[in-house]
Structure 1
């Protein structure tokens, strides 16, 4: 093809042939809790962190999160059909920053950022309720995307994994006031503690709030359930497993 040097028009999803969303990193299997032990506000990718441990922000929905309910990714895999942005999508590969070798509890859930997924879906099916633009001060634009993954009940192990509770899973509390890639932590807290609205750090009660909407996550689960019951969405068997032996290689300056 030889495109014109200039071309001006207006496009919508109804006037173009293909319109799909490919997102190379979604659904972190756990993440961190951000706090600020310094003396000035910090504007981070988790949002504002107030000084002197003024607040704590976490970004995972806890026990309702799909990857906590399939910790070793035994039923979630390449080709799995999913709810994506209000339409139907698919898992295409492991996501960027995929780190399945993260340390894990006896229940196999990770104690920090672990597996991630790359997803694709037909954006013509998507709805603004489940795909929204946002902006993080000092960081730039981002996207808020609704994702739901149904888990086929193939055996008792799948059922057992899905009984996970917020008190059974933990996340590390990380101090963003330390300006280096690997930051110190204040230890681990459970998602039950985080969802209570207060966590205790060095004897101080700190307000906690989620970056992801727990309410909307439940709405996605209910909508996906309705699709399945109405026969509008069928579960699929994955065509290949997600690699679970990837190491994490940080970029090094030369």
Structure 2
């Protein structure tokens, strides 16, 4: 192929002549067809704790000087930085990992978008107690930002100890003695996996964040050359609640975020990167108790020939008095078994491991040699949702083709 420029690709997009493929499509087509691609759309959806929201909250009940403490639906929020003295406004920051019992910030963000009432409790500098309900549509400012999202790829986890552990890496207590495996990362369709040198992803790159247009602002905390991640900012008012939410782990609630990122194919090196398959991408299997590698596997073993979503066999449901699926679903997507709320479902597959007669999904398993012993470890819970990641990559492709999403060139390169 010849070297392309941003200007050339943007001209082709504007004229309706560009070839846009999803990351999945370009891996499945011929080499000749792949060489015609101008842009490849990538996607990921997963548990991304490095997320926070910034909001302006109007208060109607009484005049106050400034807020000194604040909670939203019981979740601790941080008022500031502007005092907004006597303006009846509170500027607030809510961390993605903040929670009130089993209710987390990711759940709050989704409830806001679905226009559920938000109960505001605040105390002003002059001692006034504020308690009222606010709706998201009345908040004049709402942005979602990240301190680290969209790692190039992640890890798999298992528990080698002789006792179960509570952890953010499982929705239930993690069983002992290598009984189960969990993992994160959407493999070959992950954004940075398709541009590992960050040649096209930089400061100012336009992306979809939970379906809303946003911009990359840099690399995030714990970003390394081997495992880079990104920070971004997007208008929460434009987001799609189906792409976000909260995920309950045995250590408490976490936050879910979805990304769609365009990769313009400027040269042969980028074309080669976007053609990499799941089985070519290695990830470590970690001892969850110490976060140290005990073996290495690949994403082909986790995403090839598995079920991306769960099938329901309603006729087999026995309507147990205490339904373990209802009590264990990390998204509260099964509130009345056997019905699944597909808008909330994360496709983690946990329900199929708890009640396989009613909820069926092939999550796969891996064969690994650990200390000279061959073990087959079944996947019990996925903390990335490849089905929705594919969906956001298709949505981004459609927006590029119908010209409602404009490709941007980074204003500054990022260090991988």
TM-score, structure 1 as length reference: 0.84
Q: Which residue of 2 aligns with 1:148?
A: 260
- Is 1:228 the counterpart of 2:353 in the alignment? no
1:169-188 matches, cutoff 5 A: 169-177=281-289, 180=290, 183-188=291-296
Partners in 1 of 2:279 and 2:231 — Cα distance? 28
Residue 133 of structure 1 aligns to a residue in which SS? strand
Q: Which residue of 1 aligns with 2:242?
A: 129
Q: Which residue of 2 aligns with 1:117?
A: 230
Q: Larger RCO: Structure 1 or Structure 2 (Cα < 8 Å, ≥ 6 residues apart)? A: 1
Q: Which residue of 1 aligns with 2:98?
A: none
Gaps of 5+ in 2: 1-83, 87-123, 305-363
Q: Deviations over 1:189-247 (max 9, x none)?
A: 11112235111123111112531011111111111111111111011101111123xxx
Structure with the higher fraction of residues in helix conformation: 2
Structure 1 residue 153, shift from structure 2 partner:
1.9
User: Out of 352, 370, 375, which is 1:204 matched to?
Assistant: 375
Gaps of 5+ in 1: 103-113, 245-254
Higher alpha-carbon Rg: 2
Say whether the 8 Å CA contact 1:33–1:58 is kept in structure 2.
yes
Q: Deviations over 1:119-166 (max 9, x none)?
A: 11000001110111222222x222111111011122222211100101
1:52-201 matches, cutoff 5 A: 52-100=177-225, 102=226, 114-138=227-251, 140-177=252-289, 180=290, 183-196=291-304, 197-201=364-368
Aligned pairs, how many? Answer: 227
Q: Which residue of 2 aligns with 1:13?
A: 136
Partners in 1 of 2:159 and 2:260 — Cα distance? 31
1:27-46 matches, cutoff 5 A: 27-46=150-169
Structure 1 residue 172, shift from structure 2 partner:
0.6
Structure 1 residue 66, shift from structure 2 partner:
0.8
TM-score, structure 2 as length reference: 0.52
Say whether the 8 Å CA contact 1:186–1:201 is kept in structure 2.
no
Partners in 1 of 2:136 and 2:143 — Cα distance? 10
Structure 1 residue 186, shift from structure 2 partner:
2.1
Query: Once superposed, what is the RMSD of the aligned Cα atoms?
Result: 1.6
